[in-house]
Amino acid sequence: MPRILVAGTADTKGEELAYLAQLVCDAGGTPILVDLGIGQATIPVDVSNSAVAKGFSEALDLLGSDDRGAAVTAMGKAFASYCASQSGYDAAIGIGGGGGTSMVSEGFRTLPIGFPKLIVSTMASGNVAPYVDINDIGMIYSVTDFAGLNRLSRTILRNAAFAIVGMAKAAKSEVGSKPAIGLSMFGVTTPCVTSVVDRLKNNYDCLVFHATGSGGRAMDKLVDSGMIGRLIDVTTTEIADELCGGVLSAGPDRLGSVARMGIPYVGSVGACDMVNFGPAETVPTKFKDRLFYHHNPQVTLMRTTAEECAAIGRFIGDKLNACSGPVHILIPEGGVSMLDAPGQPFHNPEANSALFDAIEQTFKPKSDTVFERLPLHINAPEFADAIVRAFEKQMK
């Protein structure tokens, strides 16, 4: 029987938590009820709030406090510490309103990608990004508030309980044994990445991430977790957004996981010719005189300048210098995206040269690192061939 972590505030949601735990048992699981409440539990629990709070000393001090905001924040951190230190569960489910969802989700975000996790929440019909972030947390809208059980809440909690037990049982099945590769792709580098995947998919499990900020962070998280052991990072455009104020940044730690884990890395500069913004009216006024391409009503692209490209190149070079594993960076001198080619709106050889030169000047060659310029466009079939050759050479 799978062991299911059942989390919530046993001081204010005791009736619902006890009912959920019984439903998990009815579905064929073993519920372990973990209390995240600030006050005295109203039902028996398996892991007390004080046991959880030991993971963050400030939380212990705030149990029973009238400062609910501070207590919820501290208990969220304590639950994150608790979840990160546990290995005896097969799945996790939680319930909550605003505060409860914040605490439960902070803990669940520390759990590995692929580990079943589900939250029934009053917040699930709105913007769930702060709770889910880059994790595979499932959220179910509770419809009614958690203020005692009713015909709707009983049905929804029952569905959730049977769902999480089903997930836990399914997670035990074999999901594939081929080595995993992480690849980064944007619409304007799709031909290149698709071609690389076609060449490698028979022998490797190719996990392609959309380079939209969250995609790069998810890829890095999987590298840090050990789930991905090698990268073909064709599309490093998120770095352009990080340095130039775009909306699709993956943060300053982009490429940090490669250095930490020492994995083999094959990379390029896909879509570093552009910075992403939302609708045209949302572009900061300081950029009003720049070159734009209106991709669609929701996406406005701005061409990076030579100065910005040089900064991007230095960022990439510095990050790769910190890597202990083999590194092969390939430079497409014919253009870095669909929009960067002769006759296309972002074609700018001067800016590209600044990007390429900055990487080359910053990059420190070692016995297992390669900097390679190719007179090809990034979406040329021959460039994909070169990426595959570089990858296969590292695998020998």
Q: What is the CATH number of the domain that holds 195?
A: 3.40.50.12030
Are 150 and 293 within one domain? no
Q: At which of 109, 135, 170 does a domain end?
A: 170
Are 83 and 231 within one domain? no
Residue 289 domain-assigned? yes
Q: At which of 170, 203, 238 does a domain end?
A: 170
Over pLDDT 70: what percentage of the chain?
A: 98
Instruction: Print the domain residue range for 42.
Output: 3-170
pLDDT at 105: 98
pLDDT at 235: 98
Are 200 and 338 within one domain? yes
Are 220 and 253 within one domain? yes
Examine the pLDDT at 16 and tell me if it is beyond 60. Answer: yes
CA–CA gap between residue 286 and residue 23 (Å, rounded): 56
Residue 205 domain-assigned? yes
The alpha carbon of residue 248 and the mean position of all alpha carbons in its chain are separated, in whole angstroms, by: 12
pLDDT at 66: 85
Are 161 and 288 within one domain? no
Confidence of residue 96 (pLDDT cuts 50, 70, 90): very high
Mean pLDDT, to the nearest integer, of 377-382? 98
Are 118 and 226 within one domain? no
- Which of 248, 252, 336 lies closest to 298 in space, CA to CA? 248
Residue 199 domain-assigned? yes
pLDDT at 176: 65
pLDDT at 130: 94
Over pLDDT 90: what percentage of the chain?
A: 92
Are 208 and 101 within one domain? no
Residue 207 domain-assigned? yes
CA–CA gap between residue 305 and residue 282 (Å, rounded): 20
CA–CA gap between residue 277 and residue 7 (Å, rounded): 38
pLDDT at 175: 59
Are 251 and 205 within one domain? yes
Q: How far is CA 82 from CA 307, 338, 362, in A?
A: 46, 47, 42
pLDDT at 339: 98
- Residues belonging to the chain: 396
Are 116 and 263 within one domain? no
Question: Helix, strand or coil for residue 306?
Answer: helix
Confidence of residue 65 (pLDDT cuts 50, 70, 90): confident
- Which of 91, 114, 95 lies closest to 104 in space, CA to CA? 95
Go through 218-239 and write b for each residue having 16 or more CB atoms within 10 A of its CB, e for each that does not: bbbbbbeeeebebbbbbbbbbb
Examine the pLDDT at 172 and tell me if it is beyond 80. Answer: no
The residues, ordered by sequence, that sit 6+ positions from 123 with a Cβ below 8 Å of its Cβ are 96, 97, 98, 101, 131, 139
Examine the pLDDT at 173 and tell me if it is beyond 60. Answer: no
Q: What CATH code is carried by the domain that includes residue 103?
A: 3.40.50.12020
Residue 23 domain-assigned? yes
Residue 175 domain-assigned? no
Characterize the bridge pairing of strands 117-121 and 274-277: unpaired
**Which tokens in the block code for residue 117?**
């996790």
Decide: pTM greater than 0.75: yes
Are 325 and 229 within one domain? yes
Are 353 and 288 within one domain? yes
Residue 252 domain-assigned? yes
CA–CA gap between residue 288 and residue 370 (Å, rounded): 39
- pLDDT tens, position by position, 333-359: 999 999 999 999 999 999 999 999 999
Are 130 and 241 within one domain? no
If one counts the domains in the chain, the total is: 2
Q: At which of 170, 190, 210 does a domain end?
A: 170
Confidence of residue 31 (pLDDT cuts 50, 70, 90): very high
Residue 259 domain-assigned? yes
